[in-house]
Every structure is written in C-alpha cells, then in structure tokens.
Chain A
C-alpha cells in the first residue's frame, strides 16, 4: 500500500512537470504578449517603450529559455510574480483558493448529501412516479446552463422576493457570519443544483445495477431485511463507480466554477485562471493551472484508495510484490 502511494506521488510529480511545460508552451503560443496588449490599450506606448517593457518582463527571450528560468526558480520554491496582481503568484492565488474552497466545498458536500441518498431511494422504486419526477428534475439540472440558472435565482430571490443578496461577497468586512452566509446562499445553490443531477443519476444507475446481482437475491433469500440488504450489501458495491465520478469531478470543480463565480462576482479560482490567461499573466496562470491539475491527481489517488476501502477484492499487494 505504502509503495503504491509513493509510486503514485512520483507519477503525479512527473505529470505536473510535463503539464508545466505544456501549459507554459500553450500560453506562450497564444497570440500577443502582455506588452502587445498594453500597446493596443494605450496609444502613448511608443516603440521605445515596447522594447523596454519586453526586456523588463523578459519577453524578448525565447520561450524555452523563459520556461527553463521559471522551472529553475520554481524548484527553489520561487514561482514568480503575478503581473496582473503585482504580488507573488502564490500570494495572489491564496485568497482565490480560499474563496473557491468555501464555495465549491459546501456545494460539493451538499450535492453529495442530497444526491446519494436520493439516488439510492429512487433506485428502489425504478420507473415509479417518484423515480420519474426525480429523473425529470435531474435532467433539468444537468441540462440547465449555469448562467441561466444563476440569473433565474438572482431574479427570483434577490430582485423579486428580496430575500437574499445578489452578490457573492459582502462589501463590508465587519459584517457577521450570518450576513456572509446569506451572500453565499445563491452561488452555493447554483453550484449544488447543477451537480445534484449528475451524481444522482450515477448513484441511481449503479444501485439499480447492483440490486440485480445474484448476491443481493441470495441475501434476501437468507432473510436479510430490506434496509440491511440495501445499506450493507448493495450500497458499498454501488458506490465504486460513483466514487470515480465524484473524485474526477472534484478536481475539475476548482477551476470549473467560472460561470457561477462570474455571475455572482465571487473572486475564485475559475475567474482567476481565466483572467490570468486572458491577461497573459504567465506565472499566475501556471501556478493556478498546476494547482488545478494537482487537485485532479489527488482526486484520482483518493478514488483509488477508496476502491480498496469499498471493495476488499481490490488490493495493491500485487503491485507491491509483482507477479
């Protein structure tokens, strides 16, 4: 087990290294550089200014040289300055990461708390009225564009009923926890509603498939009660495919909440990544995207470990000892 985890960490580091090169290269290949953008925005930037600024930002050097310099510094723990935020890239990333962790974390937990039990529940009533209704709601949730759902919620609860604020962050730092929570309700609701459908459908499908297995019939024949069959025998097996989906989705959530963040003016990771890429902020974009990659890798690792916990047949010993 330990050997397996160490192997995976080494693999992850290799993936991060490759990704850093790919991301740096892709950003570098994007049309225009920061100075080109400055020139287009400010007629007073002269040819002399352009040359000076390109030298200042190191943009006059070849891409590979720039990447080499960055990598050398990064290995020493120095990830460079964010050009957009005029701060060290890690410092600029910090608040956005905290914001997104709060937003995504709450909505993620909420969506799982709702989707998994609901998925199990409707799986025990396939094709019944409850199942059909929940399915319909799931399809609506999955197919609803995030910006539309966000606007709908804002118009209903902030503009129409005036129960909740439309914005994501209070504009006063001295407000209480309750006010902060009120500001979070709509963005969290948007993300939660968007996620529930997918997870619920996965849970339902996995559970229905599991309930058809012979060992379930055997358990029932042995006299196990419905609750015991469901929770002890079926649920643990049904969770395997769901864990994969959840783990993969978790990493993506950190960078994928862009639309929700934009609609609610929530200063999170998705918006930060977009702004840094569009603003040609190499250092910040690299750090943010690498962090998003790291989260996906960690999610995968956790999913693999969860398999072993959920299904004792899955073992890492073969890897450890070899055939």
Chain B
C-alpha cells in the first residue's frame, strides 16, 4: 500500500467516524435548556444579568435566597441568622448609630471543584473585591453597608451592617469568590474585571462549588455543565446540562420542536402570547407552565407633565382602561391585573384593596369637571383650545407590549384622549429616554423584583434621576410625597413582621391613591418543558429555578 493510499484511507475513516452516530449520552442523561440570551460575563458579582444568573445558579449557591414559596432561607449557610436565634445582634456603631452584626456559618461540605474547601478566606476576599472602588462590581451599596467583616474560624464569619433593616439576614447577592484562584488576578484591582478567571478560564473547576460545573463555554452559542464531584448536596440527576442561546424566539420554538433543545427556560424564553399559542398546538407533547411573578408591567407617568400632575386626571386615565379584558383577551387571563406594584403572591400584599374600576363614563365625567371637554373630532380640549393629547412610549419590536399599547390607545380614544405612540428600540428607550426622564408623558415597561422588595428606588423622592446624581435612581415619574418617603424609611427599619405588614398596607393604599404609575398586570413566565422532565419549580422572582437544579430529573 502506498503512503497516498494510506492517507486516503485515513481520511475516509475520519469522515466515516464523523458521520457515524456518535456514542453520545442518552437523551435522558442530557438536558439542553434553551434561552434567548448568552451571558456577557460569568463572574457572579460583576453586573446583573438574567442569562448569567440562570447558568451561574447551577454552579454555585448564594448564602441566602428566596425559595419557590417566597421564603428566605439558607443555601450556602447553615442557619439563617435571626435576632431570636442569636445569630443577629443589634450593636452600637462607632458613630453612635445602631447597626447589626450578623453571623453566618458556611455549609460543612462546601468545596470548590478542585478540592479546596470554601472558607472564610474566600468570604474575606469577596468582601474586599466588592468594597474596592475599581473592582468593577456594579452595585456596591451592599458592601458599603457591610462596613466590617470579622472572621471567627474557617467557616464562620460576622458581617457588621451600618443600618438595621428588615432584610438584615438576606445576603442573596453576596456570592463568594474562590480566593485561591482569583486573588492573584486582583493584584491590580482596575484590571480585575478583565482578568477574572470566570471569563478568561471559565472551565476551571476551582471556580464552582455547586451541583454542576462548567466544562465548555462557546461564546454566543452554548455553555455545557457536568456534575461537580465535590458538590455537598443532593446528587444531580443529569449527566450533562447545556444552556443554549437562541435569541430569536421563533427559532427557539423550532429548536424545541426539532429536539435540538429539550426545555425553554421560563425566565428567559418565550413571551406569554407565544406560550399560549404553543400550548394550543403542542399540549400533547409538552407541559407549559405559566408562572405569574414579580414582573410588574406598568406605565410610568411623567408627573412634570401639566396634565399628568393632576391626580384626578391620572385616575380618570386609569378608569378608562379595561385591564381585565386585556388580560383575558390577549393573555388568556394568565396575567393578573395589578392593583399596585405589590404582587398578590407576596405576603405583604393587601388583599382588601380594590383596583381602580373600569368606568369610562365616570372617567369622562372627571375629564369634563377638570375642564377637558369633547371637541371636534371627538378629542377633548381645554378652554384654551389645547387638545388632550399625550405621548405614549414603549420598547419598539416587543410585539406583546406594542399590541397592548394599541388596545390602550383605542380605549383612551373612546373617552376622548388622543394618544401619540412613539416607540424606541430598547437600547435607546432604557439607555436614555426613561433613565434620563426624557419621555414627555407615558412610558410602558416592566420591573423585576424580589419578594417584599421595598420600592425605594422607584418611589422615594431622593431617587429621582438627575444630571447631578448621574441619573441613578429609578423614580422616573418624578414622584415626591413626604408620606411615601416616611413609609419607605419606616418599613426598611421595622423588624417586627406584623408592624411591617401594616406599614406595607399603608404604602399600597397611598400608591393607589396617588397613582404615580398606572398599574397594568403582573407578567407570567412561560416554562415549556417535555413531559418527562420533573422537579423544575418556577419561583416567579429573581432567585431562579436553576438554584434547585439538582432536583431536576427525567421520568
């Protein structure tokens, strides 16, 4: 045989091996999860991003998290600190103010994937990274409040906070970093965000201590995970988990139908209308779970607008909307109408509150009384002949929102209010228009929050974005009410649950009375999964379902 023949034979063999069925894992050993975004970074503490949270939550655990029943509990810690169990203690700070010292103990078996135990050395390192102004950690407020860290032993530490809040034991965003790997790259803090191994070497097993660890990351395409042998908890059932990013939801659906992916993550998958249509067509093969949660769809009103600063007119605008009909007709009744920003699933929700009723006749009467009477063409105008015309903005290209927007426009038109739609791409809408309060009247979008989430950033008067505060804060409406400010301050420091509940009721009543925002509904996430997949429990809040991925299994 000549060398040429041998080379040809080798080539043919290689090709045949390539085309032959590969000795892959059986379908039930591998779970391919589809989502619409690829994480920009895998570092748990730099930037907040849902795609990252979904992946990272399978590979590590926060100290504390809210579970599917919206109860705060320990994950990486052994006991949730409370004042009652003595792990949280009120203390006097050097400034004379009251602070709180909260003690946590790391789970005994917690070990990084390379065999190094998770220890207080890691906790100290994480705290130092978070506190360093050049580390690139975006939201550093937690680290400013946690002004001191005492290490008791290799597994126990105490955080000292400069303010006593009802969330004193919740350190959900304090994600421990592996000091034995990351410390050397933090030598130059300014370069840390560029040198962190989470992005430079994401398959390093020492970065993970959760049920799975990342074994492959193909930027823009997929991230593959396999069980972490050092995981101390329930043994994960799948031998391989793949997070696959398919940005286009139509293609995502087609991938599911073709078997290229098994499950579409509800947190970052199909829109509700797509989910409803999918369920109608494929309910025989897939289970579709609609989980309403803490995604609050609403219309922010610019309260500097001469029309919208009038409370009666704001109320009339809401009375002209049949939100129940929108929820039923467009979303199959799967998105509950919002009365305020507090979800009906949250324990602080006031069930006695009644929504502003749909009453176009009464709305018209209010407009008349406020001097806006029906004029030529059926549009209301005031004594000066000015038309009652408002600009209404939302994210261009979001089909679901744009449909709702058109229905709202038609309903307001019925009571003589002219609505001018001006939508913008999300990049511009959120990057400039909303954040810098450059919408003239109404902006429709959603907030995602956690259980018992205090609306400080959206309702406190100190949180109105201005050039002076670098446009930080999310009180985009420009709402100012001393009573609301006082309630927010009071709730934040009230440790007694019952008393706090009462304050929350007052806050909701004030919200409903003032209507700085027009509430629409609480959005539902759509989880589309094969019937054999069990154990997935949607939470409806920011602590995503993959935090319990070790319980997922095929049946």
B43, A49: Cβ atoms closer than 8 Å: no
Residue A287 at the chain B interface, CB threshold 8 Å? no
Residue A73 at the chain B interface, CB threshold 8 Å? no
Residue A212 at the chain B interface, CB threshold 8 Å? no
B254, A154: Cβ atoms closer than 8 Å: yes
CB distance from B67 to the nearest CB of A (A): 21
- Among residues of B, the one whose C-beta sits closest to the C-beta of A44 is B139
Query: Beyond A42-B139, A43-B457, is A85–B18 a contact (Cβ under 8 Å)?
Result: no
Residue B490 at the chain A interface, CB threshold 8 Å? no
A154, B258: Cβ atoms closer than 8 Å: yes
Residue A84 at the chain B interface, CB threshold 8 Å? yes
A155, B254: Cβ atoms closer than 8 Å: yes
Query: Beyond A41-B49, A95-B219, is A151–B22 a contact (Cβ under 8 Å)?
Result: no
Residue B221 at the chain A interface, CB threshold 8 Å? yes
A56, B134: Cβ atoms closer than 8 Å: yes
Contact pick for B136, options A56, A165, A173, CB 8 Å:
A56
Q: What residues on B are CB-neighbors of A87 within 8 Å?
A: 194, 199-200
Residue A229 at the chain B interface, CB threshold 8 Å? no
B220, A267: Cβ atoms closer than 8 Å: yes
Residues 1-23 of B at the A interface (beta carbon under 8 Å): 14-20, 22
Residue B141 at the chain A interface, CB threshold 8 Å? yes
Per-residue CB proximity of B57-86 to A under 8 Å, as 1/0?
Answer: 000000000000000000000000000000
Q: What residues on B are CB-neighbors of A96 within 8 Å?
A: 219-220
Q: What residues on B are CB-neighbors of A31 within 8 Å?
A: 427-428, 431-433
Residue A86 at the chain B interface, CB threshold 8 Å? yes
User: In the complex, A50 Cα to B432 Cα: how many Å?
Assistant: 14
A262, B247: Cβ atoms closer than 8 Å: yes
B254, A169: Cβ atoms closer than 8 Å: no
Contact pick for A85, options B138, B139, B219, B260, CB 8 Å:
B219
A159, B219: Cβ atoms closer than 8 Å: no
CB distance from B201 to the nearest CB of A (A): 11
Residue B405 at the chain A interface, CB threshold 8 Å? no
A86, B141: Cβ atoms closer than 8 Å: no
Residue A227 at the chain B interface, CB threshold 8 Å? no
A49, B244: Cβ atoms closer than 8 Å: no
Query: Beyond A49-B138, A87-B199, A158-B254, is A176–B20 a contact (Cβ under 8 Å)?
Result: yes
Q: What residues on A are CB-neighbors of B142 within 8 Å?
A: 44
Per-residue CB proximity of B243-277 to A under 8 Å, as 1/0?
Answer: 01111101100110111110000000000000000
Q: What residues on B are CB-neighbors of A30 within 8 Å?
A: 427-428, 431
A49, A263, A271 — most chain B CB neighbours (10 Å): A49
B473, A47: Cβ atoms closer than 8 Å: yes
Q: What residues on B are CB-neighbors of A32 within 8 Å?
A: 427-428, 430-432, 435-436
Interface with B: A8-16, A61-69, A110-118, A177-185, which one? A177-185
B258, A166: Cβ atoms closer than 8 Å: yes
Contact pick for A159, options B244, B245, B258, B261, CB 8 Å:
B258
Residue B546 at the chain A interface, CB threshold 8 Å? no
Q: What residues on A are CB-neighbors of B472 within 8 Å?
A: 39, 45-50
User: In the complex, A180 Cα to B255 Cα: how many Å?
Assistant: 17
Residues 122-171 of A at the B interface (beta carbon under 8 Å): 147, 150-151, 154-155, 158-159, 162, 165-169, 171
Q: What residues on B are CB-neighbors of A279 within 8 Å?
A: 40
A162, B244: Cβ atoms closer than 8 Å: no
Query: Beyond A46-B141, A159-B258, A176-B19, is A86–B43 a contact (Cβ under 8 Å)?
Result: yes
CB distance from A177 to the nearest CB of B (A): 4
User: In the complex, A40 Cα to B470 Cα: how many Å?
Assistant: 12
User: In the complex, A181 Cα to B430 Cα: how many Å?
Assistant: 40
Residues 110-155 of B at the A interface (beta carbon under 8 Å): 133-134, 136, 138-142, 144
CB distance from B14 to the nearest CB of A (A): 7
13 contacts between A and B (CB under 8 A): A38-B138, A41-B47, A41-B48, A47-B473, A50-B469, A54-B470, A56-B136, A158-B255, A167-B246, A171-B222, A171-B242, A263-B251, A275-B220
Q: Which 5 A-B pairs give the minimum distances between C-beta atoms?
A: A32-B431, A267-B220, A176-B18, A178-B18, A31-B432
